[in-house]
Amino acid sequence: MDLTRSETGDCTVEWDALPVELLRKVIATVTSAEDNTSAPNSCGSRLWTRCAVRAVCRDWRDIHDSGLLSLDVSEKTDAERFRALLCRFPALHTVTLNKCIHMTDAGLQELRKLPALTSLSLANCPRVTNQAMRVIGQLTTLESLEVVGSHQVSATGVRALGTLTALTSLNLDRCCSKVTADGLQPLGDLAALRSLSLTRCF
């Protein structure tokens, strides 16, 4: 059985990696609840067993989801689905949303629910505007950011990124076509920035 060490130093293991015999013991313990006098009278023995097993599976899923660190839903999501995903995965460090043509500024506001987010990629999401950039500017834990091919972003949107002091890599290729050299000046305040790409921005 493979153990991994979390950031806090604790050893953890995914529930689906547990030995079959151990899983059987867990299920046996849960199903013994059918003999509990507190079991709902409306549930027959088999139904009560199924209810108990489902409860365990749901709890295991929640524990697994709470520790997920990376999410890539490129071409697969919109604002409503994205909102639901972030409720399930609050510990995300990396989010990739490339080619999400239905993603809106409103959907991207949900990113503020991710306090540990360090990497964000928004390539070819045509509905991204300055409003979304203002939200991104509040994600002060970001170290890597890609906003590629978003032609609705102007100098106002770029200016909002001047607060991302932890940023080390920024890619604005084919983005912010309305931005001049003066409009990029706020990026000069990003002391940690090591990589900047502005291909076809002028």
Instruction: Let me know: does 139 contact 164? Beta carbons within 8 Å.
Output: yes
CB atoms inside a 10 Å sphere around CB 65: 14
What DSSP letter does each residue of 8-59 carry, written as one string?
TS-EE--GGGS-HHHHHHHHHHHHGGGGSTTS-TTS-HHHHHHHHHHHHHHH
Please name the amino acid found at residue 49. T
Q: Which residues pair with 72 in a beta bridge?
A: 96
Please give the chain's pLDDT, 202 residues, in tens.
444 444 555 555 555 566 666 666 666 665 555 455 444 544 455 555 555 555 656 655 665 566 789 999 998 888 888 998 888 888 999 999 999 999 999 999 999 999 999 999 999 999 999 999 999 999 999 999 999 998 898 888 999 999 999 999 999 998 866 667 777 888 888 999 999 998 877 6
Token output for 50: 């199924």
pTM: 0.69
Cα-based torsion angle of the residue sequence 137, 142, 143, 147 in order, rounded to the nearest 10 degrees: -60
Query: Hey, what domains does the chain have and what are their CATH numbers?
Result: 16-66 (no CATH), 70-197 (3.80.10.10)
